[in-house]
């Protein structure tokens, strides 16, 4: 069983949940009432952090789980932890200023890409009878 990957999945979901809390706090601090999604740069950055995290989760999670199943639990979990670190750096940077999100974005995008490629190669090898 891929227990480490399961733990990293739970941490990734917790991270996403925390972005929702940050949006709620930004709404309160800036006075932006739902359903508005614009109106104050601080709120808009918090909202984009949440949406961008949501946009990446369906790329990251299947890639991590396929890597766990076809390559190994430890490799998948390591890639997942790197993805989470990248997301945290992205969140911190973007909430300070939009132009400070680049490093975190690059780290999480690279991690998701490596997980996706690892699973693609492993599945391909299995289909060719070499795995």
| Residue positions annotated with a catalytic role | 28, 101
Q: What is the distance between the terminal CA atoms of the chain, rounded to a whole angstrom?
A: 19
Q: Cα separations (Å) of 78 from 68, 84, 95, 128?
A: 10, 10, 26, 27
Q: How many helices (H) and strands (E) does the chain have?
A: 4, 0
**What does the block give as tokens for 59?**
């790329």
Q: Give the angle subtended at the CA of 110 by the CAs of 59 and 120, to the nearest 5°.
A: 55
In the numeric block, the tokens 């006075």 are attached to 31
């Amino acid at each position: 069983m891929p227990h480490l990957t399961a733990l990293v999945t739970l941490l990734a979901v917790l991270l996403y949940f925390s972005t929702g809390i940050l949006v709620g706090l930004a709404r309160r601090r800036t006075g932006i009432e739902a359903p508005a999604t614009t109106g104050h740069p601080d709120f808009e950055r918090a909202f984009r952090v949440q949406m961008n995290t949501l946009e990446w989760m369906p790329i990251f999670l299947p890639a991590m789980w396929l890597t766990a199943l076809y390559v190994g639990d430890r490799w998948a979990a390591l890639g997942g932890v790197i993805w989470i670190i990248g997301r945290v750096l992205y969140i911190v940077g973007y909430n300070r200023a939009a132009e400070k999100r680049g490093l975190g974005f690059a780290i999480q995008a690279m991690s998701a890409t490596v997980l996706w490629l690892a699973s693609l190669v492993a599945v391909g090898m299995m289909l060719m009878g070499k795995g």
